[in-house]
Amino acid sequence: MPPRDPWEKPPPFDVEKFERMIRKLIVPAVIVIVILIAVSTSFFKVDPAEEAVVLRFGKYTQTVPPGLHFKLPFGIDSALKVNTQKVEKEEFGYRTVQADVRTTYDSTSREEESLMPTGDLALAKVQWVVQYRRSDPYKFLFQLRAPEKTIRDMSEAIVRQIIGDMTITELITQSSESIGVEVKKRLQKNMDKYDSGITITKILFQMVKAPDPVQPAFDDVVKAMQEKETMVRKAKGSYNRVIPETKGKAEKMVKEAEGVAVERVKGSEGDVARYLKLLAEYKTSKEVTRKRLLLETMETILPRLDKVYVMDKEGNILPLLQLEGRKK
């Protein structure tokens, strides 16, 4: 093909040919685009700490666990992911301004949340935290319109009810942990009643105190209560130490007394047997037995005397050789 002259006028543009070429390319391009959109909207990934609620045209179909999952493309199916492992919190009476090595809080603007009337018409300052977890994604998303607000309203109502049933002294001296257990129990019961899909993990009371003007007096009350508990514990320790020791001594004395009793009974039984035998001999030969008993008795008594005097029937003293060194 000979080279074209640069000064030669180019041939006219063939519009029909270009349109035919575009028509041939547009259908494959649309097909490719549709395929890409279908593939990109057909799969979704759920992180390990999450669960996903799948909706089809806005209606619930299933809840899927972590991993890679398939859904219908082009917006037919949609997936709403919910973190079910993270523990969330709601603060009352204060707010965390900055969570760091030195965490800072703001409680001045939350005074209305912390001040509560007690059963004896006093005021108490109470600050607490509700920790919860979204245990059921479907219920959390669709059963309550505002789950976080519901938690706040219910928690505040329950705490105010419990505080209102206590005196200020009971509130200051009672363990905040026991109050937290009761609040958690009631709050979880209400959340289950509304089928909220929320699990209350813990209630932490950061501060339970009397108003500032009377706080020193209540600090003295708390100190006195602590000293009382210390003394009670010491008394119980002494009781647990002394009582077993005393019981041991008592049992020892009882055993010794029982041994002495057995010994004396056996000795008495032996004496009785001996006396009965002697009685039988006495009945057989009274005079001989009487003299023998007298001689045996004198044999026992005389060695114990320093001096011995022998008298006849008329009362005269008979001479008797006194031998020193007799056994006593």
Answer whether residue 2 is part of any domain. no
At residue 278 the predicted structure's pLDDT band, cuts being 50, 70 and 90, is: confident
Query: Mean pLDDT over residues 264-279, rounded?
Result: 83
- 325 is in which domain, residue-wise? 292-328
Answer whether residue 79 is part of any domain. yes
Answer whether residue 4 is part of any domain. no
**Of 36, 52, 83, which residue sits at a domain end?**
83
* 186 lies in the same domain as 92: yes
325 has a pLDDT exceeding 60: no
Residue whose tokens read 């993270």:
86
Give, to the nearest 10 degrees, the angle between helix 176-193 and helix 147-164: 130
302 has a pLDDT exceeding 60: yes
Answer whether residue 8 is part of any domain. no
* 23 lies in the same domain as 68: yes
**What would the pLDDT profile of 100-131 be if each residue is shown by its tens digit?**
655 566 666 677 888 888 888 888 889 999 99
* 272 lies in the same domain as 298: no
Answer whether residue 12 is part of any domain. no
Domain count, the chain: 4
* 127 lies in the same domain as 60: no
Q: Which element (helix H / strand E) includes 4?
A: none
* 64 lies in the same domain as 130: no
- Rounded-to-integer distance, Cα 99 and Cα 101, Å: 7
Position 217 scores a pLDDT of 72
* 203 lies in the same domain as 94: yes
DSSP E strands, 93-211: 95-98, 104-106, 115-117, 123-134, 198-209
**Which residues, in sequence order, are bridge partners of residue 117?**
123
* 32 lies in the same domain as 97: no
Residue whose tokens read 């030969």:
285
- Rounded-to-integer distance, Cα 79 and Cα 68, Å: 12
183 has a pLDDT exceeding 70: yes
228 has a pLDDT exceeding 50: yes
Position 328 scores a pLDDT of 47
Answer whether residue 148 is part of any domain. yes
Contacts of 43 (CB under 8 A, 6+ apart): 68, 69, 70, 71
**Of 170, 187, 210, which residue sits at a domain end?**
210
* 97 lies in the same domain as 171: yes
82 has a pLDDT exceeding 70: yes
- Rounded-to-integer distance, Cα 138 and Cα 136, Å: 6
150 burial via Cβ count (<10 Å: 0-12, 13-18, 19+): middle
The structure tokens listed for 2 are 């000979």
The structure tokens listed for 76 are 């037919």
Answer whether residue 298 is part of any domain. yes
Answer whether residue 11 is part of any domain. no
* 118 lies in the same domain as 197: yes
**Of 189, 210, 231, which residue sits at a domain end?**
210
The structure tokens listed for 51 are 């669960």
* 178 lies in the same domain as 227: no
